[in-house]
Structure 1
Amino acid sequence: MRMNGRRGPDSHIKKVLQVLLWSVSMCIVGILLSFAVSLDGDRFLNLMQTYSAQWKSVNNELESVKAIEAQIMQMREDLIQLRRKLLPKGLSMPNFALESQGARVVHADPSEQYRSRSQPPFLTFLGIPILYTVYTPRTAIQGHTRLLVPGQCWCFAGQQGELFISLSQPVIVSHVTLGHISRENSLNGLIHSAPQHFSVSGFLSEDGVGTHLGTFEYDSEAEPFQTFELPSPKQTYRYVKLQILDNWGHQEYTCVYSFKVHGTIKQYSYTKYIENCLP
């Protein structure tokens, strides 16, 4: 029975025994080490020297691995920078007119695809054409990359047309990218059906009044994907209208292979968001 928080004699005895056991163990270890050194001191020294050399070798290997890792990271960064320089600018920026991320075509004019008489049918029965491959205005916002296949485009009759797009989310539009096949990919070496002059407008709502963002010219002698910078991007827009004003000389139809909208998302503060939600 303990009185006033004092420990009994058993605890002191156990503590003394533990100290004695630890002291005896250390003495035995010291005796064994001394015996090993005195018995074969040269062998023991050689073993320690070998161990020290191996440890230094391991450290050197670790330093080499760290150096190689740093070189790999630097090479990776250089490759990323090189990729950004080699890729067209429009392919290295976020695309807010991408159908797979939520963008959609609200309406297009003309809405029907132009079909050439020379276009082969997709399906025939007893030599009679039944179905033709249809490329709707949605083709222009389906995320074509560097490879544009001749004929796989939004093709409309005449030289003028427009595409009204709901973006994946409201964005401050800074650039737009227009794509068409190059002369090298054309069967006759001509791309007269490519748009020449076009304009871009931004809308806050589907039925609202648009704001003219810029008029540009697509260069038929340049790269297939051409990116154009807007003069002064400030306003956030939910909708964008692409208006084709003319093409490079084709009287029957115009082809739009790809259209991309680039920009930045406006950052709203949490307090303002709460204030706007409150009645």
Structure 2
Amino acid sequence: MDAPSTIAKTLRILKFGVVIGMTGLLIANMLEHFVGQNAAICDIKDDLNDVKVKVGDLDDKINQLIQNGTNDVLNEIKELFADQNRIIINNIPSLDYIKKLLKDALSQYDADKTGRTDFALESSGGAIVSIRSTENYVRGAPTLTLFGIPLCSGSNSPRTIIQPSTLPGECWAFKGSSGTAVIKLLGRVVVTGVSLEHIPASISPTGELKTAPKEFSIWGLTSEVDNEGAFLGQFIYNISGPSVQYFPVNNCYKSYNYVEFKVISNHGNPEYTCVYRIRVHGKLDGPRL
């Protein structure tokens, strides 16, 4: 129900209440006069006439009040909408500003999808130096390795995870649900976060993401043979979230030349795990190595 109708209804109810109240008082007065003296009948008739006149006046006043109130409410509503329209119009950004926002957003997405420097990117100087005891997943194709690094195989090498292309199938597949990659960064870096990327289910050839990493951890290493390292964090990749997910590192207080990326589990495939891309973000602390 709109505001004017509500006001009108409320005022009519008020009028009815006033009439009932006045009539009640009149009846009480009538009874008192009737009991006290029969001669009060004439006075009662006069009182009834007075009430009739007063009710008529009240009805006219309330009808006028309803009309005026309705007009006032309508005027207030019109004024309110006018103010809101002025506020909205004044705050609408210009077309040039909107175009700039879109251009900046597209530029950021095109520039590695995160807007953050990737210190593990192979084309910038990053490199995979070891996969420790992790075995590549290869269906029927022999793999030749040197110091644990695949030289020739029928599948993508671990280098894939630090390269920009992430089309379906362009991933590093390893046996089982856990694996490791030691990454040499382009210099000494104070790590502030990492980004893990996997293809979305919408473009997955199988329509599912069971091979995607789930739990993983990041370790800062002083060298490629550092078997202990500094624990920088453990995270969970959510296959229901965006394809690129950022994970902040809050406990890195020194710079490292190497990081170890350890996949602890995947999302349900017992045979193999696929890693599409890992990015390492932070602040460069010293010259490029």
TM-score range, shorter chain: 0.5 to 0.7
The alpha carbon displacement at 1:222 in A equals 1.1
Overall identity of the aligned pairs, in %: 33
Q: Distance in 2 between matches of 1:76 and 1:211?
A: 45
Aligned 8 A contact 1:139 1:257 in 2: yes
Matched, 1:219 2:233: no
Backbone CA RMSD of aligned residues: 3.0
How many pairs does the alignment contain? 184
The offset of 1:112, in angstroms, is 4.3
What is the Cα deviation at residue 185 of structure 1?
A: 1.1
- Structure 1 residues 122-173: Cα deviation after superposition (integer angstroms, max 9, x where no partner): xxxxxxxxx97430001101123xxx22211100010010000111111110
How many angstroms apart in 1 are the aligned matches of 2:202 and 2:213? 17
Q: What's the secondary structure of 2:260's corresponding residue?
A: strand
- Which digits, 9 at most, give the CA deviation of each residue in 1:69-115, with x for residues without a partner? xx999677534543478679962111110111111111114554312
Q: 1:232 to 1:157 in 2, by over 3 A?
A: same
- 1:188 aligns with 206
Match of 2:162 among 130, 141, 156: 141
Q: 2:231 corresponds to which letter in structure 1?
A: H
1:104 equivalenced with 2:127 (yes/no): yes
Does structure 1 retain, via aligned residues, the 8 Å contact 2:180–2:261? yes
- 8 A Cα contact 1:110 1:156, kept in partner: no
Q: CA, structure 1 residues 221+139, in 2 after alignment: closer, same or farther (shift >3 Å)?
A: same
Stretches of structure 2 lacking an aligned partner (at least 5 in a row): 1-93, 142-151
Pick closer, same or farther for the CA change 1:185–1:78 going to 2, 3 Å: closer
| Residue of structure 2 in register with 1:113 after alignment | 136
After superposition, the Cα gap between the structure-2 partners of 1:267 and 1:151, relative to the gap in structure 1 and judged at 3 Å, is: closer
Structure 2 contact 134–180 (Cα < 8 Å) conserved? no
1:159 aligns with 2:177: yes
Q: More helix by proportion, 1 or 2?
A: 2
Who wins on radius of gyration, i.e. which is larger? 2
CA distance 1:200–1:110, change in 2 (3 Å): same
Q: Name the CA distance, whole Å, in 2 between partners of 1:102 and 1:85.
A: 21
Other-structure match for 1:95: 118
Q: Verify the 8 A CA contact 1:172 1:235 in the aligned structure 2.
A: yes
Residue equivalent to 1:175: 193
Which residue does 1:250 correspond to in 2?
Answer: 269
> Contact conserved, 1:88 with 1:226, CA < 8 A, in 2?
no
- Structure 1: gaps (5+ residues): 1-70, 121-130, 269-279
Q: CA deviation at 1:203?
A: 1.1
Q: Map of 1:1-279 to 2, 5 A cutoff?
A: 78-79=101-102, 81-83=104-106, 91-116=114-139, 133-144=154-165, 148-208=166-226, 209-266=228-285
The separation in 1 between residues aligned to 2:108 and 2:184, in whole angstroms, is: 30
TM-score relative to the length of structure 1: 0.58
C-alpha separation between the residues in 1 aligned to 2:272 and 2:199?
15
What TM-score results when the alignment is normalised by the length of structure 2?
A: 0.56
Contact 1:112–1:136 under 8 Å retained in 2: no
Specify whether residues 267 and 242 from structure 1 end up closer, same or farther in structure 2 by C-alpha distance, changes over 3 A only: closer
SS of equivalent residue, structure 1 residue 168:
strand
Contact 2:196 2:279 in 1 (8 A): yes
2:278 partner amino acid: F
- Do the aligned residues in 2 keep the contact of 1:201 with 1:212 (CA within 8 Å)? yes
